[in-house]
Amino acid sequence: MMDIREVTHYLTRERSDIPEVISFRATRRAIGVLGVALPFLLWWGGLLLNRTALQPSISHYYFTNMREAFVGVLCAVSLFLFTYKGYNKMDSYAANAAGFFSLMVAVFPTNIIDGYPGQSMVASILDVKIHNAIHLTSAGLFFITLACMSLFLFTKSNKPKSQWSDARKSRNMVYKVSGWIMLLCIVLIGISEPLLGVGKTSKVTFAMETVALFFFGISWLTKGDVVFGD
């Protein structure tokens, strides 16, 4: 069994093949895959299983036949984020916060749009302002937390920049691009309706959420050494 110094040494290395670190990579990859897959799972699943039209946002799939998939994936992401242990406490705190916000998005559904196809009984019970406020706030904080992790935590290294490999530099570029795109998507979602005149049934929000989730997934897959590994 390794002592604490050996564990610390291995956890602060750029790469390692010991089982403990492999499990960290597997967690990162699982988070990344779920992030990339979620919008396509809901869209194509709804279309193939029930001919469900593309919804205005990912959250509106709660009111379709894909509700279980929506809630299940968010809860799985939340679980992985809660169990994720980064290189330091800040990594873990940020991941736990993102996991909490993901869980809140699943537990507190968004408001269904008036006249839009959905489960009317569920909508009438859950169409409460506080639910929507918690949902929207949690969704925004979820993406902001993930973006900040990509920009400020994933880019950290225990080595000086002069010793960075080309792969390390490429990974940092992926983290930065992913983080900024996630933030841009949040801004575009916020201004699309009031400033751009986009209606509530527009698919702009779904498109921006899909892009944000894609780059969230790419960032975590990169962190899991799927691309640009040393």
**Rg (alpha carbons) of the chain, rounded to whole number:** 19
Task: Provide the residue count of the chain.
Answer: 230
Identify the band that residue 192 occupies on the pLDDT scale cut at 50, 70 and 90.
confident
Q: Which whole number is the average pLDDT over 200-206?
A: 80
| Res 171: pLDDT | 93
What is the rounded CA–CA span in Å between residue 35 and residue 182?
12
Averaged confidence pLDDT in the chain: 84
Q: Give buried/exposed letters for 192-212 (b at 16+ CB in 10 A, else e).
A: beeeeebeeeeebbbbbbbbb
Domain boundaries, the chain: 19-154+168-223
Q: What separation, in Å, do the N-terminal and C-terminal C-alpha atoms of the chain show?
A: 27
| Res 128: pLDDT | 62
Nearest to residue 67, comparing CAs of 45, 91, 94?
A: 45
Of 12-16, 173-177, 223-227, which gets the smallest average pLDDT? 12-16
Residue 57 predicted with pLDDT over 60: yes
- List of residues 6+ apart from 37 with CB closer than 8 A: 73, 217
- List of residues 6+ apart from 14 with CB closer than 8 A: 157, 159, 165, 168, 230
| Res 148: pLDDT | 97
Q: Which whole number is the average pLDDT over 130-139?
A: 88
| Res 86: pLDDT | 79
Residue 165 predicted with pLDDT over 50: yes
Identify the band that residue 10 occupies on the pLDDT scale cut at 50, 70 and 90.
very low
Q: Which whole number is the average pLDDT over 140-163?
A: 92
Q: Which whole number is the average pLDDT over 19-31?
A: 75
What is the rounded CA–CA span in Å between residue 161 and residue 102?
34
Task: State pTM to two decimals.
Answer: 0.83
Q: Which whole number is the average pLDDT over 200-211?
A: 87
What is the rounded CA–CA span in Å between residue 54 and residue 15?
41
Q: Which residue has the higher pLDDT, 162 or 80?
A: 80
Q: Which two tokens stand for residue 109?
A: 């559904």
| Amino acid letter for position 157 | S
